[in-house]
Every structure is written in C-alpha cells, then in structure tokens.
C-alpha cells in the first residue's frame, strides 16, 4: 500500500466526518452548550443576588438586635425605677400603718390606765370607808364622812 493513497483516504474520511459533524451534530451541541452557558450565568447571577440579599438581611438583623437591646435596656431601667417607686410607696404605707397602730395602742393604753385609776380609786375609797367605819364604828356620821372620803378620792 502506498502511504500517499492511505493518507488521502484518511484525509477524505476525516473531512467527511468533520462535514457531517459540523453540519448535523455541531448545531445541537452548540445549542446545548449555549443553554448550559445561560444556565451557568443565571446561576452565578442568582448566587450574586442571594449574596447581596444575605448581606442585607444580616445588616437588618444586626440593626434589629441593636434596637431590641436598646429597648430592653430602656425597659429594664423603667422596671428598676418602678421597682424603686413601689419600694418607697411600701415604706411610706408601712410608716403610716405603724403610726396608726402606735396611736391606737397609745389610746388603748391611756384608756386602760384611766379605767385602772378609776377602779383603784373606788377600791381605795371602799377600803378607807371600811377602815374608818371600823375605827370609829358608832361615831361616824355618813354625810360628813362622805365628804371627807370624796376629798380623799379626789386627792388620789
């Protein structure tokens, strides 16, 4: 076999193969590659857009967290202030209640002291009268002695 004839036969076969491939197969491969290129570019654009949205969402979440922190801090301060007010009100009410109880107790003590004095005066007058009656038995005049006993009661 001749090398030149083989070479030309192979060249002819290869040219036919290229022609058939370029004419019938290449348009479908080209459209598939174009579709794939479009899909990849759309995917890259979507990824880029998603990255921007993610950054925006992170910025918004940081802002919301900062706002929530400042609001929580404000609420904590208000709660502390209200707690102090409640404590002061409770102290004031306790002091007022203490004063009321103290006044009531003092009035009760004063009333009991007055009753005790009155009872004591009556008992002393009875004892004085009984003692004077025994000492003076028949010489006691009720009206004159009553005056003396009343004077003694007033002195006590």
Q: Mind listing the pLDDT tens digit for each residue in 103-155?
A: 988 888 998 888 888 888 777 777 777 766 766 655 555 666 667 667 766 66
Cβ-proximal residues to 128 (8 Å cutoff; 6+ apart), any chain: 149, 152
Which pLDDT value is given to residue 123? 79
Q: How far apart are CA 93 and CA 97, in angstroms?
A: 6
pLDDT higher than 80, residue 18: yes
Q: How far apart are CA 35 and CA 29, in angstroms?
A: 10
121 backbone φψ class: left, alpha, beta (φ>0; ψ -120 to 50): alpha
The long-range contacts involving 97-105, CB below 8 angstroms and separated by at least 24 positions, are none
For Cα atoms 2, 8, 10, give the angle at the middle one, nearest 5 degrees.
Answer: 100
Which pLDDT value is given to residue 72? 87
Q: How far apart are CA 129 and CA 123, in angstroms?
A: 10
Which pLDDT value is given to residue 25? 85
Q: Mind listing the pLDDT tens digit for each residue in 35-91?
A: 999 999 999 999 999 999 999 999 999 999 998 888 888 888 888 898 889 999 999
């Amino acid at each position: 076999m001749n090398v030149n004839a083989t070479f030309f036969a192979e060249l002819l076969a290869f040219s036919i193969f290229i022609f058939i491939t370029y004419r019938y197969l290449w348009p479908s491969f080209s459209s598939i590659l174009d579709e794939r290129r479009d899909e990849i570019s759309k995917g890259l654009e979507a990824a880029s857009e998603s990255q921007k949205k993610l950054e925006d969402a992170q910025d918004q979440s940081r802002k919301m967290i900062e706002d929530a922190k400042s609001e929580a801090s404000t609420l904590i301060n208000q709660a502390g202030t209200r707690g102090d007010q409640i404590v002061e009100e409770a102290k004031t009410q306790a002091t007022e209640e203490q004063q009321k109880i103290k006044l009531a107790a003092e009035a009760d003590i004063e009333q009991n002291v007055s009753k005790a004095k009155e009872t004591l005066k009556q008992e002393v007058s009875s004892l004085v009268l009984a003692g004077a009656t025994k000492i003076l038995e028949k010489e006691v005049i009720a009206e004159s002695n009553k005056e003396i006993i009343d004077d003694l009661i007033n002195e006590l």
